[in-house]
Amino acid sequence: MILILSANTDRNGAEFRQLMTHLEHLPNIQSRIHQETGTKQTLTEIYLIGDTLVLNEAEMSVLPCVERVVRVSEEYRVLGRHKGDNRPTSFEYNGLRFGQDTLHVFAGLCAVDTPEHVERMLKALQENGQVCTRMGAYKPRTNPYSFQGHGKKCLPYVFELAGKYGIKCIAMEVTHEAHIMEIKAALEQTGNPTGIMLQIGTRNTQNFELLKFTGRQHEFPVLLKRGFGITLEESLNAAEYLASEGNRMVIFGLRGMKTNMGDPHRNFVDFAHVPVIKRLTRMPVCIDPSHSVGARTRNPDGILDLMHVTAQGIVAGANRVLVDFHPEPSKALVDGPQALLMKELPYFLEDIRIAREAYEKRVKLAQANA
Ligand code: PEP
Ligand code: MN
């Protein structure tokens, strides 16, 4: 059960103390307080865990400070959508709003290699009106002898260049809690020129200790990628780990599944699940066409598979696209074969715009026919 308190409830006030004393006396019930401070108001929610079936909704709703009571019947207590639940489906970070109704493109380098390539990428993004990017510094690789990413060494120049080109949010994968500390330190050292969205990759979707640590920090939002060989339910539970530790700025990423049936692509593209995640949870949904398709295969209609699947995800309502670009793919240290080219950036953005417009028209059509 979730108690949603009136906005700006004072946690030091007498009424709040009265409420907490009442909750402490409920048998076999533990409560966990979650507070979210936005630009306009502070929202407080209390999660009641344990024998909540015996609690009476009407009685709970008249307790001091309580505005509304939501009975959580399904899984994903924090991130799920529940009956009568109108909690937000968006969050703000560094001046940007990420929601189930917004769309952001995170085009960039799969792996940071040289400052020159980083700068060429960021400059192109700025010229095309983009304020988000992806830059991999810590790369989990299948082969231990493959390039593992430049790690903390590259962070200062990546952050400074991002600031120079007006980037507000960089998606950066972390595979260990130490990486989060290194990112924090490098941001401070460079004067916080940009923002970071931590990325938990498909190989770490169920790394529960990493999830708990990442959830306990509330500074950076998190993109959690679906595990490539587990059920959707298991991946959504992994997202819930982040939120249950207090960080609800979570975006769920689809990046394809490992199955032989996906043979023509690196992974079996799963973007049909975009609306499903939006229905089950309050998370914005990201698609990653690069790691799904894995190649620059072009079709008889002249369109790359990469662009076909991106459009499919957008037409289904995706909120974010994470995509590999590279100024010189033949020199890329990771995933060159799937990188889009700098000159394709305006074309890619225009193709996305067309797909988004189609999605918006489809929503209007559905409303008119409801
Ligand atoms: C990536 O985005 O660079 C990446 C490694 O993705 P995934 O975890 O989906 O393989
Ligand atoms: Mn990659």
Best CA proximity match to 271, nearest among 242, 293, 249: 293
Phi/psi at 252 (5° precision): -100, 130
Residues of the chain with CATH 3.20.20.70: 93-368
Phi/psi at 285 (5° precision): -115, 130
Ligand nearest the Cα atom of residue 326:
2
pLDDT digits over 107-119, tens only?
Answer: 999 999 999 999 9
Show the ligand 1 pocket: residues with CB < 6 angstroms.
110, 136, 173, 201-203, 225, 255, 288, 291
State in Å: Cα 53 to ligand 2 middle: 46
- Which parts of 25-167 fold into alpha helices (H)? 57-61, 115-127, 155-164
Dist. CA 318–CA 100, nearest whole Å: 8
Q: Structure pTM?
A: 0.92
Phi/psi at 4 (5° precision): -100, 120
In this structure, the residue with its CA closest to atom 4 of ligand 1 is: 201
Per CATH, the number for 93-368 is: 3.20.20.70
State in Å: Cα 202 to ligand 1 middle: 6
Residue 228 CA: nearest ligand 1 atom is 9
State in Å: Cα 339 to ligand 1 middle: 13
pLDDT digits over 276-304, tens only?
Answer: 999 999 999 999 999 999 999 999 999 99
Best CA proximity match to 320, nearest among 271, 268, 248: 271
Q: Name residue 98's beta-bridge partners.
A: 91
Residue 225 CA: nearest ligand 1 atom is 9
Fold of 2-71: Alpha-Beta Plaits (3.30.70)
Size of the chain in residues: 370
| Structural element, H or E, at residue 4 | strand 2-5
State in Å: Cα 343 to ligand 1 middle: 23
pLDDT digits over 89-99, tens only?
Answer: 999 999 999 99
In this structure, the residue with its CA closest to atom 3 of ligand 1 is: 110
Residue 111 CA: nearest ligand 1 atom is 3
State in Å: Cα 167 to ligand 2 middle: 20
Residue 139 CA: nearest ligand 1 atom is 5
Alpha-carbon separation of residue 329 from 126, 136, 294, 340, 346 (angstroms): 20, 15, 13, 8, 18
Dist. CA 255–CA 270, nearest whole Å: 7
Mean pLDDT of the chain: 95
Task: Work out the pLDDT band at 270, boundaries 50, 70, 90.
Answer: very high
- Answer yes or no: are the C-beta atoms of 94 and 132 closer than 8 Å: no
Of 179, 255, 325, 338, the residue with max ligand 1 atoms within 8 A of its CB, to mutate for a pocket test, comes to: 255
State in Å: Cα 261 to ligand 1 middle: 20
pLDDT digits over 214-243, tens only?
Answer: 999 999 999 999 999 999 999 999 999 999
pLDDT digits over 25-80, tens only?
Answer: 999 999 989 888 777 888 899 999 888 989 999 999 999 999 999 888 667 888 99
Residues of the chain with CATH 3.30.70: 2-71
pLDDT at position 73 is 64
In this predicted structure, the answer to whether residue 259 has a pLDDT above a threshold of 90 is: no
Task: Work out the pLDDT band at 262, boundaries 50, 70, 90.
Answer: low
